[in-house]
Structures are given as C-alpha cells and as structure tokens.
A = this chain, B = another copy of it.
C-alpha cells in the first residue's frame, strides 16, 4: 500500500540513511534530506499519516509480549547537544501508547552506576518483551564523550567497540531489534540552537555553560562519531545517519526507520489460548 506521500522517498529511508563505513562524516550536509524528494509540509503530513499504523504495530508488539513472545524493539538515539533527540521522543515516540514504551535518558553516570561498569545501567533499561525501548544517549557515550573528554585512557575506551558489538549480539539473541540513529547538526545550527536557549526564559533550564565546551570540541566529536559509525555499524544492527539541521526531516526519518523495523517483525495478533465459544457461554452464564 504505497501512498502518494510515501512515493516522495526516492529510495527506502532505511537504505538512503544507512551508514556506509568509510564515508567522510565531516563532509556531510547536515541540512540535507537524503532520499527524500518532498517538502517540509509533505514530510510533516507523512509523519502524521503514520500515527495509526505505528500505534497499531506497537500494540501488536505489546500483545505479542503479553502472550509469551520475546520480541522487542530498541531505538538508540545518539547525537550532539541540540541535535533534537528530545524532540524526536516527544513527536515520534509520542505517537504510540506510553504503556508500551520504556524510555531511558542516559546522563553522566552516578557513582553507583559507574561502579557497576558502563553496560550495567544499559542492561537494566533494555526493553522487556513486547516493549519499544528508547535510549536517549546510550552505551555509545562510552566511545564518544568518554573519548573526547578524556575520561578514560585510550586503551580502555578502544576496547569498548568490541564489547558493544558483543553486547548487541547478545541483545539481538533474546529477540530485540536494534534501530540505531545518529543525528548530526552542523556547528552553525548547534550554535544557533544554543543561542536560542539564551534568548528565551522558558529555555534557560536547558542551557549550561558547559555546553560551549561541546561546541568548541565539535571536530573531535565528529572524529569520535566517525570511528563509532565505522566500527559498530553491522549488517544486523546498522547505524543510520540522519542530518538534523532540519528538525522536520529528522523526525520524518526516525518515524520511517521505526515503522520499517516494526513492519519487518510481521506481527499478527496472538491467537486465543482458550476456547472462544466456551468462554462466551461461561461469560453469558456468569
């Protein structure tokens, strides 16, 4: 069932956005809309038109989990400050039933979390069967902020690539489909978004003086993202790189990637585990 709006994708978003190892991340056009030939209003319309199917598939996933199925979906959102991860949770994840969502935002680890190793809190937050898990930042911070801010010696953070690949293999093994999305904003857009937080009284709380350090280290972050993408984009759990200077495009892209992942599960409705006619009779007699 292809709608008119859907046809504005020149190629399927999962293919158009899939990271090709070796691509030069520094050369990315963060204002681009790879694969998408439509306008902003058309993109917004397509997102809105997906709400029903997304909610339906999420409910099927939930029903499957309640009925003994082991499948779940984990959306991993990575991106620099201001890249719009929060807006995606609000506008895309917000399209489905909150009962079926396990959302976790990873800030700097607490002392207890740090003492358990970086994958401990991540494991705790993994979606249970039937759930859509959403990570706002993730285990990948261990090869991003930890690397750029020099929080661990190189030998230590370098070991994380393999650990992460092994971890994700284990997670897939228990039935979780991992959708990895890296959002990239340009340095100009990042500065403009930070500046906006300083112009609006209702945005002050989102600003911290330390944000400027991230701006200054933009090139180092690009280097860390480059290696992360190259080293951890696998056949089973590829990275998708989403240019995020246009918020509407980032939301459209993640909507489509999530929808594609849910569709690929081929979820039906669980069959009755009881005799339907007998239960109707029992209920009528009760």
Encode A186-228 as 1/0 by CB contact (under 8 A) with B.
Answer: 0000010011001001101111110010011000000000000
The answer to whether A98 and B99 touch across the interface, beta carbons within 8 angstroms, is no
The answer to whether A63 and B205 touch across the interface, beta carbons within 8 angstroms, is yes
**Interfacial chain B residues near A208, Cβ < 8 Å:** 274
**Chain B min CB distance to A26 (Å):** 19
The answer to whether B282 and A212 touch across the interface, beta carbons within 8 angstroms, is yes
Cβ-closest chain B residue relative to A201: B269
Of residues 246 through 286 on chain A, the ones whose CB sits less than 8 Å from some CB of chain B are: 269-274, 276, 279-280, 282-284, 286
7 A-B contact pairs sorted by A residue (CB < 8 Å): A90-B98, A93-B98, A98-B101, A98-B134, A99-B136, A195-B283, A207-B279
**Chain B min CB distance to A233 (Å):** 27
**Interfacial chain B residues near A8, Cβ < 8 Å:** none
**Contacting residue for A98 out of B98, B201, B280, B284, CB 8 A:** B98
**Chain B min CB distance to A227 (Å):** 24
Of residues 57 through 101 on chain A, the ones whose CB sits less than 8 Å from some CB of chain B are: 63, 66-67, 86, 89-90, 93-94, 97-99, 101
**Chain B min CB distance to A279 (Å):** 6
How many monomers of this protein are in the complex? 2
Encode A90-115 as 1/0 by CB contact (under 8 A) with B.
Answer: 10011001110101010000000000
Q: Known interface pairs A198-B276, A205-B67, A269-B205. Does A191 touch B98 (Cβ–Cβ under 8 Å)?
A: no
**Interfacial chain B residues near A94, Cβ < 8 Å:** 94, 97-98
Q: Known interface pairs A204-B270, A205-B63, A209-B274. Does A198 touch B89 (Cβ–Cβ under 8 Å)?
A: no
**Interfacial chain B residues near A283, Cβ < 8 Å:** 191, 194-195, 198, 212, 215
How long is the Cα–Cα vector from A275 to B13 in the complex, in angstroms? 43
**Interfacial chain B residues near A270, Cβ < 8 Å:** 204-205
The answer to whether B99 and A286 touch across the interface, beta carbons within 8 angstroms, is no
**Interfacial chain B residues near A136, Cβ < 8 Å:** 99
How long is the Cα–Cα vector from A286 to B215 in the complex, in angstroms? 7
